[in-house]
C-alpha cells in the first residue's frame, strides 16, 4: 500500500516565535485551578490519580519540516517515558512536543503518570491503520486506552471524510478506546466550513476552547449535530484537547477493573461534570430547539471540571431500578432494548441546586466498505427525561403504557435529539423533592440491546468560572495545524 501524506495548510513560523518569546510569561497562568484539578489534589493528596498504567496514542499532522514526534529527549518533562514511533519516519516536532506536555508531561500535565506512548503521523493513521480505502476495517491498537488528536483535516472526496469518521467511531466502539479530538481554532461555524475530521465523528470527545474562539456547531457532515462536546480553558484547541485526554486518563485509572473503562462512561462523566460558562444554552438563542438540540453550540456540555467528574465516578455505578433509589450523584454503564424505559429514582434535599446529567452511546459500524463504498452504520435513538416522581417508585413500564402513569406536566426537562448520540439535562434551580431520570429507547428495527453511559450529579452551589489569562496562554501555545488528506488536493 502506498503511504499517503498530510501537508500543512499554513505556516507555523509565527506561533513558534511567539512561543519562545513568551514562554516565561505563560508559566504565570495555570489552567489547573479552572478545571478543578487543584481542588481535587488538595482533597486527595497523594491518592490523586495521575494516569499511571494508562497507555495512550498521540496522532499528529506533519509540521512544515515533515515531523510529527514529541521530543523524546526533553528533560524533565518526558523523563521516564517510553515513546514508540509507529509510523517510523520522524524526529521531533515542536507542535507535538507542546501537545505531549499537556497530555503526559511531568511538569505541565495533570496525568504525568502516563509513560507508554505510541506516536503516529495522521496520514499513516488514516490510510494504513484505520484503512479508510480498504474493506478490512481498522487494525488493532492493542492495549491503548486513549488517542489524542490535536490536528484537523478533510478530503475533497466526500467518501473519504465519511469513512474516516466511521472508522474512528469503530475504534471507539469495538476496541474500547477513548478518542479526544480538537475542533478548529477561530470562532467560525462548522456548518460553513469543509467537512472536518476527526472531531466530527459521533463517538469521539470533541474539544473546544472555553473562551469561545473555536469552531462551533452544528456539524457540516452527518448533521446537523452538536459539537464540541466539551471545552477547556486553554488558548488553542491543540492545547485544550490533551488536557481533556489527561482528565480521561485520571478517570480510567480511578475506574480500573470496572465498567468505567467503557468510553461511553468516560464521555458521560466528563460531560456531566462540566461547568456552565456565561451564556450557556442549548442550541440557538431562545427555547424553540431546547428539546431537539442537546448541547450548547460553542460550549458543548461546558468547561472541563475534573473534580466534579471524579466525584461522580467515585459515587459508584448505580443501576436502573423501580424498587431501589440511586443517590443524587452517580453513573451507570447500562443497556436498553427498543421501545423501553430505564428509570433512576432519587431524592434531593435543599433548594436552588444545579442538576446535570449526560447520556452517551456509540454509533456502531456493521460492515466495512471497500474503495469508494461506505461503511454500514447504525445508530439507536435514545432520549433522556427528568420528571417529578411520586413518593413511591413505579413498576417498570413500556413506552406504550407510559401516558397512563405520567402526564406532560410531570416533565421537568427532556432531551430528544433524533440525530445526536448524546442527550443532556441541565437545571440550575432544582428544588427538594423526589425525581426520576429516565433513559428512553424509541422503537427500533435493531435486535438486541444498546449499551450506554449515564452520569448525573446534583451540585449544591452552582457557579460560573471567571475566564482569565486566555490572551496570554493563547500566545504561548502553538497554533492549530489544518491539513489535507491527500497530496495535491485543493482547498
CATH number for the domain that contains residue 90: 3.40.50.200
What pLDDT, on the 0 to 100 scale, is given for residue 409? 62
DSSP calls for 57-123? EEEE---TTS--B--TT-TTTTTT-EEEESS----B-HHHHHHHHHHH-TTT-S-TT--EEEEEEHH
Cα-based distances in Å from 353 to 256, 294, 356, 460? 31, 20, 10, 5
d(CA 342, CA 315): 19
- CATH of residue 420: 2.60.120.380
- Quick check: pTM over 0.85? yes
Per-residue pLDDT, 482: 41
Which residues are CB-neighbours of 111 under 8 A, at least 6 positions away?
A: 50, 51, 54, 103, 104, 245, 246, 247, 249, 250
Does any domain span residue 489?
Answer: no
Say which range, 24-33, 55-64, 349-358, 364-373, has the weakest mean pLDDT.
24-33
Across residues 393-419, what is the average pLDDT?
Answer: 68
Q: Identify the pLDDT of residue 408.
A: 56
CA-wise closest residue to 300 among 194, 455, 423: 423
Q: How far apart are CA 355 and CA 251, in angstroms?
A: 21
Same domain, 411 and 279: no
Strand order, beta sheet including 230-232: 82-85, 116-121, 56-60, 146-149, 178-182, 205-209, 230-232
Phi, psi dihedrals of residue 146, rounded to the nearest 5°: -140, 140
Domain shared by 42 and 164, yes or no? yes
| Residues 238 and 367 grouped into a single domain | no
Considering the domain boundaries, does residue 360 fall inside one? yes
Is residue 312, in this structure, part of any structural domain at all? no
Residues 264 and 136 in one domain: yes
Instruction: Give 22's pLDDT tier (boundaries 50, 70, 90).
Output: very low
What is the model's pLDDT at position 472? 28
Task: Pull the grid cell for residue 194.
Answer: 469543509
- CA 340 distance to own-chain centroid: 27
Q: Is residue 471 located within the same domain as residue 433?
A: no
| Least confident interval from 127-141, 150-164, 189-203, 420-434 | 189-203
Indicate if 78 and 213 belong to the same structural domain. yes
2 lies in some domain: no
Give the C-alpha separation, 282 to 208, whole Å. 16
Of the listed ranges 138-142, 219-223, 370-374, 472-476, the least confidently predicted one is 472-476
**What integer pLDDT is reported at residue 399 of this predicted model?**
52
Does 43 share its domain with 163? yes
| Residue 115 belongs to some domain of the structure | yes
Under the banding of pLDDT at 50, 70 and 90, the label for residue 392 is low
End-to-end CA distance of the chain: 25
Q: Considering the domain boundaries, does residue 400 fall inside one?
A: yes
Whether residue 23 is found in the same domain as residue 82:
yes
Domain with 373 in it: 317-459
Q: Which residues face 443 on adjacent strands?
A: none
DSSP state of 2: P
* CB-neighbour burial class of residue 176 (10 A; exposed 0-12, middle 13-18, buried 19+): middle
217 and 339 together in one domain: no
Q: Are residues 82 and 199 part of one domain?
A: yes
Q: Is 277 exposed, middle or buried (0-12, 13-18, 19+ CB in 10 A)?
A: buried
> 330 and 257 share a domain?
no
Residue keyed to cell 512561543? 19
pLDDT in tens, 74-125: 999 999 999 999 999 878 999 999 999 999 999 999 999 999 999 999 999 9
Domain assignment present for residue 321? The answer is yes
HSE-CB of 73 using CA atoms within 13 angstroms: 2
Quick one: 222 and 370 in the same domain? no
Q: Answer whether residue 356 is part of any domain.
A: yes
Question: Is 90 exceeded by the pLDDT of residue 159?
Answer: yes
Tally of domains in the chain: 2
- C-alpha grid cell for residue 272? 456531566
pLDDT in tens, 211-240: 999 999 999 899 899 999 999 999 999 999
Q: Mean pLDDT over all residues of the chain?
A: 86
Amino acid at each position: 500500500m502506498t503511504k499517503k501524506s498530510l501537508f500543512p495548510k499554513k505556516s507555523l513560523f509565527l506561533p513558534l516565535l511567539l512561543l519562545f518569546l513568551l514562554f516565561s510569561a505563560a508559566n504565570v497562568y495555570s489552567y489547573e485551578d479552572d478545571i478543578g484539578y487543584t481542588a481535587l489534589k488538595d482533597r486527595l493528596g497523594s491518592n490523586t490519580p495521575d494516569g499511571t498504567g494508562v497507555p495512550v496514542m498521540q496522532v499528529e499532522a506533519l509540521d512544515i519540516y515533515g515531523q510529527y514526534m514529541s521530543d523524546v529527549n526533553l528533560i524533565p518533562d518526558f523523563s521516564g517515558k517510553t515513546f514508540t514511533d509507529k509510523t517510523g519516519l520522524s524526529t521531533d516536532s515542536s507542535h507535538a512536543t507542546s501537545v505531549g506536555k499537556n497530555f503526559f508531561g511531568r511538569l505541565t500535565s495533570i496525568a504525568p503518570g502516563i509513560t507508554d506512548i505510541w506516536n503516529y503521523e495522521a496520514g499513516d493513521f488514516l490510510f494504513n491503520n484505520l484503512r479508510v480505502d480498504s474493506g478490512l476495517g481498522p487494525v488493532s491498537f492493542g492495549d491503548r486506552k486513549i488517542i489524542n488528536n490535536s490536528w484537523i483535516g478533510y478530503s475533497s472526496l466526500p467518501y473519504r471524510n465519511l469513512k474516516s469518521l466511521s472508522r474512528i467511531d469503530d475504534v471507539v466502539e469495538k476496541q474500547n478506546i477513548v478518542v479526544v479530538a480538537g475542533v478548529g481554532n477561530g470562532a467560525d461555524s462548522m456548518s460553513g466550513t469543509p467537512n472536518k475530521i476527526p472531531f466530527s465523528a459521533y463517538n469521539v470527545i470533541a474539544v473546544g476552547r472555553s473562551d469561545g474562539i473555536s469552531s462551533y456547531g452544528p456539524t457540516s457532515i452527518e448533521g446537523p449535530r452538536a459539537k464540541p462536546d466539551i471545552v477547556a480553558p486553554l488558548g488553542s484547541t491543540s492545547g485544550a484537547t490533551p488536557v481533556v485526554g489527561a482528565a480521561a486518563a485520571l478517570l480510567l485509572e480511578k475506574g480500573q477493573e470496572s465498567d468505567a473503562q467503557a468510553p461511553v462512561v468516560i464521555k458521560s462523566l466528563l460531560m456531566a461534570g462540566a461547568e456552565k460558562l456565561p451564556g450557556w444554552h442549548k442550541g440557538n438563542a431562545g427555547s424553540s430547539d431546547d428539546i431537539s438540540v442537546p448541547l450548547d453550540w460553542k460550549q458543548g456540555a461546558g468547561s472541563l471540571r475534573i473534580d466534579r467528574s471524579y466525584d461522580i465516578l467515585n459515587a459508584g455505578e448505580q443501576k436502573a431500578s423501580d424498587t431501589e433509589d440511586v443517590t443524587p450523584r452517580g453513573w451507570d454503564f447500562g443497556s436498553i432494548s427498543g421501545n423501553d424505559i430505564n428509570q433512576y429514582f432519587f431524592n434531593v434535599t435543599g433548594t436552588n441546586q444545579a442538576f446535570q446529567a449526560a447520556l452517551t452511546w456509540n454509533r456502531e459500524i456493521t460492515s466495512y466498505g471497500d474503495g469508494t463504498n461506505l461503511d454500514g452504520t447504525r445508530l439507536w435513538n435514545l432520549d433522556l427525561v427528568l420528571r417529578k416522581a411520586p413518593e413511591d417508585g413505579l413498576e417498570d413500564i413500556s413506552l406504550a403504557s407510559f401516558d397512563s402513569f405520567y402526564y406532560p406536566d410531570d416533565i421537568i426537562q427532556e432531551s430528544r435529539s433524533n440525530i445526536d448520540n448524546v442527550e443532556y439535562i441541565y437545571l440550575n434551580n432544582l428544588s427538594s423533592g423526589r425525581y426520576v431520570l429516565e433513559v428512553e429507547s424509541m422503537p427500533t428495527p435493531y435486535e438486541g440491546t444498546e449499551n450506554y453511559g449515564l452520569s448525573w450529579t446534583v451540585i449544591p452551589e452552582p457557579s460560573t468560572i471567571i475566564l482569565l489569562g486566555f490572551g496570554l496562554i493563547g500566545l504561548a501555545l502553538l497554533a492549530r495545524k489544518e491539513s489535507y488528506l491527500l497530496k495535491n488536493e485543493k482547498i
